A = this chain, B = another copy of it.
């Protein structure tokens, strides 16, 4: 069985980490899948999807700051168009476009401290996220 859900997420900052696990849990519950996996995917190249700590917001702040240090906006890039977002593509490459989590008893499985984040690296923008639930 394969079930697809979609989320439309509006970011407010250039770099922002937005928790999705609440809405993902609803999509998984509605899918009717009891056991399987759930794939969370962003359809953009200047944003990513990441699992990390959601309890203390300073953790994702530190991750964003480190990525900004590794790929500063004002760097020497060949993709120097009007948008000045070469750094955003690099951050997305390092974080990745999707995550997958197990589904057990009709719910996504997350550890005690884990959240699923849409990682905005070139906001504010509206972002499309696709959730695929696979199993039986």
Interface residues of A (CB under 8 A from B): 1-2, 4, 35-37, 39, 41-45, 50-53, 56, 58-59, 61-63, 65-66, 70-71, 77-81, 86, 89-90, 92-104, 109-114, 128, 130, 132, 134-136
Contacts and interface: CB of A to CB of B under 8 A. Distances in A.
B134 A37 contact: yes
B102 A132 contact: yes
B59 A102 contact: no
Contacts of A90: 62-63, 66
Copies in the complex: 3
- Judged by DSSP, the binding face of A is mixed
Contacts of A37: 2, 39, 132, 134
A92 B111 CA distance: 14
B79 A44 contact: no
